[in-house]
């Protein structure tokens, strides 16, 4: 079935399901990543292994999966918007990504960037709560000091009462600097790899290729924007604005405290997380589109 003849509803539905699958796959990795990124100068000696062990000592609900209920229920919405806007824009621009002709990379960039922009509306509040909950896990020998939320509802209520709606959108400019380029690169890399991969390796199933190329696209796109991700985590964990007044203040203070290496903290964990999460998300999304009747990249 041609891309333009498929209801846009299926792009949104497939994105919602794929997003939920992806977030469950990657949340334990994400928890350790955030722990690494929010460390202050005095904890610069805390390693990835020590962070992992600190989170591991908690039970699953308070450790690796702390804050999962919020994104698990909400990332379906984020990815529904992300994939839905991307798919709708591709159709609107009449871009062919069926694999029959070389992809129109300019249109893919526009669609990916627009998808990244629109998903910020639900994504920023969800990320604020997720990061705050994850930041409250003790790590190293330092105990967490500050408000402790028992879950996302309590956290949301307190932030809204104390900071208003702006508190829920803490770090919006930084997240936009992270997400829009990342989403653009994500689809650009994936469509390039899947188009050439299916033609180069015709005996390999498109399902497996979707997983592998989706994983590669995720790793590369995340690596490109990691400094913005680190700053986003630090700003959003600082809900009361006691440490950072904004993006540039966070950049300067982080650099003075930890040097250039701070901007790449969590790279290994981010890469470990990005491959399975994005591989599972894109594979699930593409398989669902096939199930719904949209035959893409078939051979």
Name the nearest CA neighbour of 132 among 171, 181, 75.
Answer: 171
CATH architecture of 3-292: Alpha/alpha barrel (1.50)
pLDDT at 68: 58
**Of 139 and 286, which is predicted with more confidence?**
286
pLDDT at 31: 62
pLDDT bin (cut points 50, 70, 90) of residue 195 is: very high
**Of 43 and 253, which is predicted with more confidence?**
253
In this prediction, residues 7-25 reach a mean pLDDT of 83
- What single DSSP character describes residue 171? T
Give the whole-angstrom CA distance, residue 163 versus residue 157: 10
> What are 242-248's contacts with CB under 8 Å, separation 24+?
246/173, 247/171, 247/173, 247/174, 247/177
Residue 46 pLDDT greater than 80, yes or no: no
Name the nearest CA neighbour of 282 among 226, 215, 188.
Answer: 215
Residue 81 pLDDT greater than 90, yes or no: yes
- What single DSSP character describes residue 142? B
**Both tokens of residue 207?**
């399902």
Give the whole-angstrom CA distance, residue 30 versus residue 271: 10
What does the longest C-alpha to C-alpha distance in the chain come to? 58
Compute how many other C-beta atoms are within 10 angstroms of the C-beta atom of residue 10. 18
pLDDT at 43: 40
C-alpha torsion 152→158→163→164, nearest 10 = 80
Residue 49 pLDDT greater than 60, yes or no: no
Compute how many other C-beta atoms are within 10 angstroms of the C-beta atom of residue 216. 18
Give the whole-angstrom CA distance, residue 202 versus residue 38: 45
> What are 155-164's contacts with CB under 8 Å, separation 24+?
155/129, 156/125, 156/129, 159/128, 159/129, 159/132, 159/239, 162/240, 163/239, 163/240
Residues 82-122 pLDDT 10s: 999 999 999 999 988 877 889 999 999 999 999 999 999 99
pLDDT bin (cut points 50, 70, 90) of residue 249 is: very high
Residues 121-173 pLDDT 10s: 999 998 888 788 777 766 544 555 567 777 788 888 998 998 899 989 988 99
**Of 82 and 236, which is predicted with more confidence?**
82
Q: Distance of CA 182 to CAs 93, 124, 154, 175, 176, Å?
A: 21, 15, 31, 10, 10
**Both tokens of residue 33?**
């990543």
pLDDT at 296: 52
Compute how many other C-beta atoms are within 10 angstroms of the C-beta atom of residue 101. 9
From the centroid of its chain, how far is CA 108?
A: 19
Name the nearest CA neighbour of 152 among 252, 268, 65.
Answer: 65
């Amino acid at each position: 079935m041609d891309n333009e003849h498929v209801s846009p509803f299926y792009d949104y539905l497939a994105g919602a399901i794929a997003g939920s699958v992806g977030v469950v796959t990657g949340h334990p990795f994400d928890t350790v990543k955030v722990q690494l990124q929010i460390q202050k100068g005095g904890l610069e000696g805390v390693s990835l292994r020590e962070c992992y062990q600190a989170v591991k000592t908690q039970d699953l609900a308070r450790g690796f999966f702390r804050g999962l209920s919020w994104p698990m229920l909400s990332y379906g919405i984020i990815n529904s918007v992300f994939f839905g806007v991307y798919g709708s824009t591709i159709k609107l621009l009449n871009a062919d990504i069926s694999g029959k002709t070389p992809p129109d990379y300019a249109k893919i960039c526009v669609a990916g960037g627009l998808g990244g922009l629109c998903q910020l509306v639900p994504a920023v509040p969800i990320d604020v709560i997720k990061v705050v909950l994850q930041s409250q896990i003790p790590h190293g020998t330092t105990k967490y000091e500050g408000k402790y939320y028992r879950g996302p509802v309590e956290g949301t209520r307190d932030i809204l009462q104390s900071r208003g709606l702006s508190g829920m959108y803490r770090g919006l400019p930084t997240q936009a600097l992270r997400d829009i380029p990342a989403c653009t690169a994500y689809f650009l890399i994936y469509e390039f790899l899947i188009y050439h991969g299916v033609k180069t390796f015709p005996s390999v199933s498109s399902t497996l290729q979707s997983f592998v190329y989706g994983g590669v696209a995720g790793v590369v796109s995340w690596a490109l924007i990691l400094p913005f991700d680190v700053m986003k985590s630090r700003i959003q964990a600082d809900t009361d604005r006691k440490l950072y007044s904004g993006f540039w203040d966070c950049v300067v203070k982080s650099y003075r405290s930890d040097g250039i290496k701070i901007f790449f903290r969590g790279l290994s964990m981010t890469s470990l997380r990005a491959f399975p999460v994005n591989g599972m998300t894109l594979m699930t999304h593409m398989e669902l589109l096939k199930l719904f009747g949209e035959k893409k990249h078939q051979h």
